[in-house]
C-alpha cells in the first residue's frame, strides 16, 4: 500500500509540475544587459531606422545589407517579446524615424502562451505611439522554421503557433493602422516550412535569406520616407 | 614483465601525444563559412574602412561607435590569424581605403607558436600590399586579458606571449612602414592586466572599453584620409 501511495504521489507531482507555469517572462539571454548598455551608448538621430528583434535580426549588418547609413541593428540573440519591452525605452528615447520589429519565435520556443505574445505586441505598439508618436511602426510576420534540420531545436514543431500569431498580427496591424510586412509567405517552401535555400539550420537565415529580406523591404518601399 | 611493458607503452604513448603538434592551423569557428559568405554578398567601395578580427572586433557596431558610415565590421568570433588569411581576399578584392587588424589572442589560446602568429601577420601585410596597394594598413597591439575573472579561459595566463608578440609587431610595423596603434598600454591596469573597468569577463570589452578604443582611434586621427 505504501508503495502504491508513493508511486501515486510521484505521478501527481509529475503532472502538477508539467501543468505548472512552464515559462518565464523575466528570461534574459546571458549578455542581454551588456548589449543593451552598448546600445545606450550609441548616439541617436531622428533619421534612425531601427531593426528590433532576436538573432535573426542581429545576424546581419543592416547598414551593409540595405546600403543605408541610417539603419541601426537592435537585435539580441535569443531575446523574447518581454525583453523587447524591457529595452523599448532605448529605442523610443531616440525618436527614430522607423522601427521594424521581428520577434516571437523564442517566446514560442520557451512556451510563452500565444495570448501573452500578442499582448506584448500590443504593448509595443501602444508604447511606441505614446513615447515617440512620429515613429513609423512596421511589424514583420514570424518566419517559418524547418524541422528537417539537425540538431532539432525548441523552435521546431510549433508551426501552428507561428501561423496563429501571424494571423492575429495581421488583424492587430489593421486595427492599429500600422504596417505589417508579410515575410512568412515569402520564406515558406513546401508544407509552409522555411525554404531550405534560405537557412543553414532550419531557424536562422543564410546570405540568400537576408538578400530576400532586403529585396522585400526595398520592393515594398518601406525604407523610403 | 608484461605489465611493466604495458605501463611503459602507456607512458610513452601519453608523452608522445602530449608533445605532438597541439594546435591546428585549419581551425575554423562553427559559422565561419556562413559569415564569410555573408561578407562576400555585401557591396564593396573604395571608401570602405575595414575592421578585421575576432569577437573583440565583431562585438560592436563600428558604424555607430565611430559615427562613420564607411566603416565595415569584419570580425568573426573565435577567429585566428590563419582564418584571417583564408578570408583576406574578401577584404582586398574591394580595394578598401583602410584596414584595421586586431587578431592573435585566440591563436595564443589555441597554442599556435608565436613565430607562426608573427609569420601570419607578415603574410597579411605582404598580401594586402600586393593585392590592394592603395589600402592603408593599421595593426593594433593585442589587448591584455585579466585572469581574475571567472570562468577561467584558455586566453588567460599566457601574458608573456601577448607582450612578446606586441613587441615584435612594433618592429614589424616599423620595418614595413605600416601604422601600429598601441591599444595594449591604454587598456592595461595593474600588472599589465586588462583593466576591470573595460571588460565583463577578462577578455571581451564592455561599452566603456569600446568607448576608449573609439577615443584612441579618433585622437590618433587614424580614420581621416
Q: List residues of chain A with CB under 8 Å from any CB of chain B.
A: 31, 34, 37-38, 40-43, 60-61, 63-65, 67, 69, 72-73, 200, 206-207, 210-211
CATH class of residue range B29-219: alpha beta
Question: Contacts of residue B61 in chain A, CB cutoff 8 Å?
Answer: 38, 42, 72-73
Find, among B68, B86, B166, B159, the residue nearest to B123 by Cα.
Answer: B86
What is residue B225's predicted lDDT score, i.e. its pLDDT?
A: 72
Measured between alpha carbons, how far is B183 from B142 in angstroms, rounded to an integer? 7
Q: Report in angstroms the alpha-carbon separations of B192 from A181, B65, B74, B117, B212.
A: 52, 26, 28, 21, 17
Question: Contacts of residue A63 in chain B, CB cutoff 8 Å?
Answer: 63, 69
Question: Contacts of residue B75 in chain A, CB cutoff 8 Å?
Answer: none
pLDDT tens-digit map of A122-158: 999 999 999 999 999 999 999 999 999 999 999 999 9
E strand or H helix at A53? strand A49-53
Question: Contacts of residue B211 in chain A, CB cutoff 8 Å?
Answer: 41
Segments of B34-97 assigned E as strands: 49-53, 71-75
Interface probe with B: pick from A45, A55, A60, A64, most Cβ of B within 10 Å: A64
Fold for domain A2-219? Rossmann fold (3.40.50)
Residue extents of the structural domains in chain B:
29-219
- Report yes or no: B139 and B128 within 8 Å, Cβ to Cβ: no
Interface probe with B: pick from A36, A41, A75, most Cβ of B within 10 Å: A41
Q: Identify the three-state secondary structure at position A144.
A: coil
Nearest CB to A37 within list B34, B38, B206: B206
Which regions in chain B score pLDDT beneath 70?
Answer: 1-21
For residue A28, pLDDT beyond 60: yes
CA B84 to chain A, closest CA, distance in angstroms equals 19
Find, among A153, A68, A139, A150, the residue nearest to A106 by Cα.
Answer: A153
DSSP H helix total and E strand total for chain A = 11, 5
Nearest CB to A207 within list B41, B73, B210: B41
Interface probe with A: pick from B49, B61, B72, B201, most Cβ of A within 10 Å: B61
Measured between alpha carbons, how far is A218 from A33 in angstroms, rounded to an integer? 32
For residue A14, pLDDT beyond 80: no
User: Where residue A9 falls among pLDDT bands split at 50, 70, 90?
Assistant: low
Q: Report in angstroms the alpha-carbon separations of A122 from A100, A103, A139, A169, A176.
A: 15, 13, 11, 9, 9
The interface predicted TM-score of the complex, written ipTM, equals 0.84
Q: Identify the three-state secondary structure at position B99.
A: strand
Q: Do residue B38 and residue A210 have CB atoms under 8 angstroms apart?
A: yes
Amino acid at each position: 500500500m505504501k508503495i502504491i501511495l508513493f508511486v501515486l504521489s510521484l505521478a501527481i507531482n509529475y503532472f502538477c509540475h508539467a501543468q505548472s507555469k512552464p515559462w518565464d517572462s523575466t528570461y534574459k539571454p546571458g549578455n542581454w544587459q551588456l548589449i543593451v548598455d552598448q546600445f545606450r551608448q550609441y548616439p541617436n538621430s531622428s533619421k534612425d531606422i531601427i531593426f528590433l528583434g532576436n538573432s535573426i535580426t542581429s545576424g546581419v549588418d543592416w547598414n551593409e545589407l540595405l546600403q543605408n547609413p541610417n539603419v541601426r541593428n537592435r537585435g539580441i540573440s535569443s531575446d523574447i517579446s518581454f525583453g523587447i519591452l524591457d529595452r523599448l525605452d532605448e529605442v523610443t528615447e531616440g525618436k527614430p524615424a522607423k522601427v521594424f520589429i521581428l520577434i516571437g519565435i523564442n517566446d514560442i520556443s520557451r512556451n510563452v502562451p500565444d495570448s501573452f505574445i500578442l499582448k506584448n505586441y500590443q504593448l509595443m505598439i501602444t508604447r511606441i505611439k505614446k513615447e515617440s508618436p512620429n515613429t513609423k511602426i512596421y511589424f514583420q510576420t514570424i518566419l517559418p522554421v524547418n524541422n528537417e534540420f539537425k540538431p532539432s531545436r525548441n523552435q521546431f514543431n510549433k508551426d501552428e503557433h507561428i501561423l496563429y500569431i501571424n494571423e492575429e498580427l495581421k488583424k492587430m496591424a489593421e486595427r492599429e493602422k500600422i504596417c505589417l510586412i508579410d515575410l512568412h509567405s515569402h520564406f515558406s517552401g513546401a508544407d509552409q516550412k522555411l525554404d531550405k535555400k534560405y537557412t543553414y539550420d532550419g531557424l536562422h537565415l543564410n546570405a540568400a535569406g537576408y538578400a530576400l529580406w532586403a529585396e522585400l523591404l526595398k520592393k515594398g518601399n518601406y525604407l523610403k520616407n
